Amino acid sequence: MKLSRQGQGALEAVLCLPILLATAFALGLLLYRGLIYSYSDYQLREALICADGFSIKHCEGQLKKRIKAVLLDQSKLTIDLKDRADSFSAEIKIKFHAGDSGVSEVFNKLSPEFYLKKETTKKL
């Protein structure tokens, strides 16, 4: 008795597709978070350099504008730029929020808030 193998490839593809999609989603999420972290770190350093020559409010506004440009629309961004007696300090907190649909809820739960802090001394 000879068995037919027609449709076996389609069946295997249907079974493997959810695993491939979940892997691609996880890699995309990891890549996005890495990009945001690196970009935020760079922009935070630039804001500290800016604060040495311009007002704190100006530099904080520029930092917020630049980081908001690469974040998802509903992500929460908190920036705190301080001028101390001998140094400048800056903190960023980002909480990702992609919306309220099914896939977005998974993204929201898998993306905890992250926090960056830098400090630099003032030029004399």
Query: Across the chain, where does the E strand assignment appear?
Result: 76-83, 87-95, 114-121
**Model confidence at 103: pLDDT above 80:** no
Is the pLDDT at 102 greater than 80? The verdict is: no
Q: Is the pTM of this model over 0.95?
A: no
With beta carbons less than 8 A apart as the criterion, state whether 94 and 40 touch. yes
CA angle 73, 31, 63 (to 5 degrees): 45
pLDDT tens per residue, range 40-89: 999 999 999 998 889 999 999 999 999 999 987 778 889 999 888 888 89
What pLDDT, in 10s, does the model give residues 9-54? 887 888 899 999 989 988 988 898 899 999 999 999 999 999 888 9
For residues 108-113, average pLDDT: 75
